[in-house]
Amino acid sequence: MRTMDQNLQRELIMAVATSVIAHAEELTSLDQAIGDGDHGINMKRGFEAVLTDIDGLATRPLPDALHAIGMALLMKIGGASGPLYGTLFMTLGKELPASPSTEEVARALAAAIAAIKARGKSETGEKTMLDVLAPVQAELAGGGAELTARLRRRAFDAAAATTPMKAMRGRASFLGERSIGHMDPGARSSCLIVAAVCDVIGG
Ligand code: ADP
Ligand code: MG
Protein backbone atom coordinates (compact mmCIF):
# COMPACT_ATOMS: atom_id res chain seq x y z
CA MET A 1 0.00 0.00 0.00
CA ARG A 2 1.20 3.52 -0.77
CA THR A 3 2.06 6.01 1.97
CA MET A 4 0.40 9.42 2.00
CA ASP A 5 2.05 12.31 0.15
CA GLN A 6 0.78 15.24 -1.93
CA ASN A 7 0.66 13.22 -5.16
CA LEU A 8 -1.31 10.42 -3.55
CA GLN A 9 -3.63 12.91 -1.87
CA ARG A 10 -4.32 14.59 -5.22
CA GLU A 11 -4.91 11.24 -6.93
CA LEU A 12 -7.31 10.14 -4.19
CA ILE A 13 -9.39 13.33 -4.32
CA MET A 14 -9.43 13.27 -8.14
CA ALA A 15 -10.40 9.60 -8.29
CA VAL A 16 -13.25 9.93 -5.79
CA ALA A 17 -14.62 13.11 -7.36
CA THR A 18 -14.40 11.92 -10.96
CA SER A 19 -16.00 8.56 -10.15
CA VAL A 20 -18.95 10.16 -8.36
CA ILE A 21 -19.39 12.73 -11.16
CA ALA A 22 -19.15 10.02 -13.86
CA HIS A 23 -21.88 7.99 -12.12
CA ALA A 24 -24.27 10.90 -11.56
CA GLU A 25 -26.87 9.53 -13.98
CA GLU A 26 -26.85 6.12 -12.35
CA LEU A 27 -27.24 7.68 -8.88
CA THR A 28 -30.09 9.80 -10.18
CA SER A 29 -31.93 6.82 -11.63
CA LEU A 30 -31.52 4.87 -8.37
CA ASP A 31 -32.97 7.86 -6.50
CA GLN A 32 -35.80 8.15 -9.06
CA ALA A 33 -36.87 4.63 -8.11
CA ILE A 34 -37.14 5.18 -4.33
CA GLY A 35 -36.57 8.90 -3.72
CA ASP A 36 -36.89 12.22 -5.50
CA GLY A 37 -34.26 11.65 -8.18
CA ASP A 38 -31.74 14.27 -7.03
CA HIS A 39 -28.93 12.15 -5.54
CA GLY A 40 -26.82 12.15 -8.71
CA ILE A 41 -27.13 15.87 -9.28
CA ASN A 42 -26.55 16.56 -5.58
CA MET A 43 -23.38 14.48 -5.43
CA LYS A 44 -22.12 15.85 -8.75
CA ARG A 45 -22.55 19.43 -7.51
CA GLY A 46 -20.70 18.61 -4.28
CA PHE A 47 -17.72 16.94 -5.90
CA GLU A 48 -17.47 19.55 -8.66
CA ALA A 49 -17.09 22.09 -5.85
CA VAL A 50 -14.31 19.93 -4.40
CA LEU A 51 -12.51 19.84 -7.76
CA THR A 52 -12.52 23.63 -8.09
CA ASP A 53 -9.95 23.71 -5.25
CA ILE A 54 -8.00 20.56 -6.11
CA ASP A 55 -4.62 22.35 -5.90
CA GLY A 56 -5.38 23.72 -2.44
CA LEU A 57 -6.80 20.42 -1.23
CA ALA A 58 -3.86 18.36 -2.52
CA THR A 59 -1.24 20.50 -0.78
CA ARG A 60 -2.88 20.92 2.63
CA PRO A 61 -2.18 18.39 5.40
CA LEU A 62 -4.62 15.46 5.05
CA PRO A 63 -6.74 16.38 8.12
CA ASP A 64 -7.23 19.95 6.84
CA ALA A 65 -8.02 18.73 3.32
CA LEU A 66 -10.62 16.28 4.63
CA HIS A 67 -12.21 18.99 6.75
CA ALA A 68 -12.39 21.32 3.75
CA ILE A 69 -13.88 18.57 1.57
CA GLY A 70 -16.48 17.90 4.26
CA MET A 71 -17.39 21.59 4.43
CA ALA A 72 -17.72 21.79 0.63
CA LEU A 73 -19.93 18.69 0.53
CA LEU A 74 -22.04 19.92 3.45
CA MET A 75 -22.68 23.22 1.70
CA LYS A 76 -23.09 21.98 -1.88
CA ILE A 77 -24.73 18.53 -1.88
CA GLY A 78 -27.87 19.48 0.01
CA GLY A 79 -30.67 16.99 0.66
CA ALA A 80 -30.32 14.42 3.41
CA SER A 81 -26.99 13.16 2.14
CA GLY A 82 -25.14 16.53 2.17
CA PRO A 83 -24.93 16.87 5.95
CA LEU A 84 -24.17 13.14 6.25
CA TYR A 85 -21.31 13.11 3.73
CA GLY A 86 -20.14 16.40 5.26
CA THR A 87 -20.07 14.67 8.64
CA LEU A 88 -18.20 11.69 7.19
CA PHE A 89 -15.34 13.73 5.74
CA MET A 90 -15.16 16.28 8.58
CA THR A 91 -14.98 13.51 11.18
CA LEU A 92 -12.25 11.74 9.21
CA GLY A 93 -10.38 15.08 9.15
CA LYS A 94 -10.75 15.42 12.89
CA GLU A 95 -9.66 11.87 13.68
CA LEU A 96 -6.86 11.16 11.20
CA PRO A 97 -3.18 12.12 11.43
CA ALA A 98 -1.39 13.45 8.31
CA SER A 99 -0.07 10.04 7.29
CA PRO A 100 -2.39 7.42 8.79
CA SER A 101 -1.86 3.70 9.18
CA THR A 102 -4.57 1.21 8.19
CA GLU A 103 -5.51 0.85 11.88
CA GLU A 104 -5.86 4.61 12.23
CA VAL A 105 -8.10 4.78 9.15
CA ALA A 106 -10.25 1.98 10.59
CA ARG A 107 -10.61 3.85 13.91
CA ALA A 108 -11.38 7.16 12.18
CA LEU A 109 -13.99 5.54 9.93
CA ALA A 110 -15.63 3.99 13.01
CA ALA A 111 -15.84 7.47 14.56
CA ALA A 112 -17.25 8.89 11.30
CA ILE A 113 -19.92 6.16 11.14
CA ALA A 114 -20.90 6.90 14.75
CA ALA A 115 -21.18 10.61 13.86
CA ILE A 116 -23.38 9.84 10.81
CA LYS A 117 -25.62 7.64 12.98
CA ALA A 118 -25.98 10.45 15.51
CA ARG A 119 -26.70 13.04 12.84
CA GLY A 120 -29.06 10.82 10.82
CA LYS A 121 -30.68 9.16 13.86
CA SER A 122 -30.02 6.01 11.90
CA GLU A 123 -28.53 2.55 12.30
CA THR A 124 -27.23 -0.12 9.97
CA GLY A 125 -29.89 -2.33 8.38
CA GLU A 126 -32.11 0.63 7.46
CA LYS A 127 -31.13 0.73 3.75
CA THR A 128 -28.75 3.72 3.75
CA MET A 129 -25.12 4.62 3.10
CA LEU A 130 -24.38 3.11 6.55
CA ASP A 131 -25.04 -0.34 5.10
CA VAL A 132 -21.92 0.09 2.95
CA LEU A 133 -19.75 2.15 5.29
CA ALA A 134 -20.16 -0.18 8.30
CA PRO A 135 -19.21 -3.46 6.57
CA VAL A 136 -16.29 -1.71 4.87
CA GLN A 137 -15.12 -0.46 8.29
CA ALA A 138 -15.40 -3.98 9.72
CA GLU A 139 -13.34 -5.40 6.85
CA LEU A 140 -10.75 -2.64 7.28
CA ALA A 141 -10.49 -3.23 11.02
CA GLY A 142 -9.83 -6.92 10.37
CA GLY A 143 -6.78 -6.06 8.22
CA GLY A 144 -4.94 -8.88 6.43
CA ALA A 145 -3.72 -9.60 2.91
CA GLU A 146 -5.21 -8.19 -0.31
CA LEU A 147 -7.03 -5.63 1.80
CA THR A 148 -7.90 -3.10 -0.91
CA ALA A 149 -9.29 -5.80 -3.21
CA ARG A 150 -11.37 -7.22 -0.36
CA LEU A 151 -12.60 -3.77 0.67
CA ARG A 152 -13.70 -3.00 -2.88
CA ARG A 153 -15.57 -6.31 -3.14
CA ARG A 154 -17.15 -5.82 0.29
CA ALA A 155 -18.38 -2.35 -0.73
CA PHE A 156 -19.98 -3.68 -3.95
CA ASP A 157 -21.57 -6.66 -2.17
CA ALA A 158 -22.86 -4.43 0.63
CA ALA A 159 -24.41 -1.94 -1.83
CA ALA A 160 -26.08 -4.83 -3.69
CA ALA A 161 -27.33 -6.19 -0.35
CA THR A 162 -29.39 -3.01 0.19
CA THR A 163 -31.64 -4.03 -2.75
CA PRO A 164 -33.85 -6.46 -0.79
CA MET A 165 -33.92 -4.21 2.30
CA LYS A 166 -36.90 -2.10 3.32
CA ALA A 167 -35.98 1.57 3.76
CA MET A 168 -36.42 2.88 7.29
CA ARG A 169 -34.79 6.33 6.94
CA GLY A 170 -34.93 9.22 4.49
CA ARG A 171 -37.40 9.71 1.65
CA ALA A 172 -37.26 6.07 0.58
CA SER A 173 -38.86 5.12 3.92
CA PHE A 174 -42.09 6.85 2.76
CA LEU A 175 -42.44 4.01 0.22
CA GLY A 176 -42.44 1.31 2.88
CA GLU A 177 -42.55 -2.13 1.23
CA ARG A 178 -42.27 -0.55 -2.21
CA SER A 179 -38.68 0.45 -1.44
CA ILE A 180 -37.81 -3.28 -1.58
CA GLY A 181 -36.14 -4.38 -4.82
CA HIS A 182 -34.09 -1.24 -5.50
CA MET A 183 -30.50 -0.48 -4.49
CA ASP A 184 -30.17 2.45 -2.10
CA PRO A 185 -28.65 5.47 -3.92
CA GLY A 186 -26.55 6.53 -0.92
CA ALA A 187 -25.23 2.99 -0.53
CA ARG A 188 -24.20 3.09 -4.19
CA SER A 189 -22.46 6.49 -3.84
CA SER A 190 -20.61 5.27 -0.74
CA CYS A 191 -19.55 2.17 -2.69
CA LEU A 192 -18.21 4.37 -5.50
CA ILE A 193 -16.18 6.43 -3.01
CA VAL A 194 -14.70 3.34 -1.33
CA ALA A 195 -13.93 1.70 -4.69
CA ALA A 196 -12.18 4.83 -5.98
CA VAL A 197 -10.00 5.03 -2.86
CA CYS A 198 -9.15 1.32 -3.13
CA ASP A 199 -8.27 1.63 -6.82
CA VAL A 200 -5.74 4.37 -6.07
CA ILE A 201 -4.26 2.89 -2.86
CA GLY A 202 -4.18 -0.69 -4.13
CA GLY A 203 -2.86 0.29 -7.58
P1 ADP B 1 -32.78 13.38 -0.21
O2 ADP B 1 -33.27 12.06 0.34
O3 ADP B 1 -32.98 14.51 0.75
O4 ADP B 1 -33.29 13.65 -1.59
P5 ADP B 1 -30.29 12.43 -1.39
O6 ADP B 1 -31.15 11.90 -2.48
O7 ADP B 1 -29.12 13.26 -1.80
O8 ADP B 1 -31.16 13.24 -0.32
O9 ADP B 1 -29.70 11.23 -0.53
C10 ADP B 1 -30.45 10.07 -0.24
C11 ADP B 1 -29.55 9.06 0.47
O12 ADP B 1 -29.16 9.56 1.75
C13 ADP B 1 -30.24 7.75 0.76
O14 ADP B 1 -30.11 6.87 -0.35
C15 ADP B 1 -29.54 7.23 2.01
O16 ADP B 1 -28.41 6.41 1.68
C17 ADP B 1 -29.02 8.49 2.66
N18 ADP B 1 -29.80 8.82 3.85
C19 ADP B 1 -30.98 9.47 3.91
N20 ADP B 1 -31.36 9.62 5.19
C21 ADP B 1 -30.41 9.02 5.96
C22 ADP B 1 -30.22 8.83 7.38
N23 ADP B 1 -31.09 9.30 8.28
N24 ADP B 1 -29.10 8.18 7.79
C25 ADP B 1 -28.20 7.72 6.89
N26 ADP B 1 -28.31 7.88 5.56
C27 ADP B 1 -29.40 8.51 5.10
MG1 MG C 1 -32.99 12.40 -3.22
- CATH code, domain carrying 114: 1.25.40.340
160 located within any domain: yes
Q: Specify the pLDDT at position 1.
A: 61
Q: How far is the CA of 24 from the centre of ligand 2 (A)?
A: 12
Q: Which helix (H) or strand (E) holds 22?
A: helix 6-22
Closest ligand relative to 184 C-alpha = 1
136 located within any domain: yes
Range of 162's domain? Answer: 6-202
Q: Specify the pLDDT at position 4.
A: 81
Q: What is the pLDDT along the chain (203 residues), one digit of tens a residue?
A: 677 889 999 999 999 999 999 999 999 999 999 999 999 999 999 999 999 999 999 999 999 999 999 999 999 999 999 999 999 999 999 999 999 999 999 999 999 999 999 999 999 999 999 999 999 999 999 999 999 999 999 999 999 999 999 999 999 999 999 999 999 999 999 999 999 999 999 97
156 located within any domain: yes
1 located within any domain: no
99 located within any domain: yes
Q: Specify the pLDDT at position 156.
A: 98
162 located within any domain: yes
Confirm if 98 and 63 have CB atoms less than 8 A apart: yes
Alpha-carbon distance 185 to 101, whole Å? Answer: 30
52 located within any domain: yes
Task: Please tell me the total count of domains within the chain.
Answer: 1
The answer to whether the CB of 86 is under 6 A from ligand 1 is: no
128 located within any domain: yes
From the CA of 79, give the closest atom in ligand 1: 3
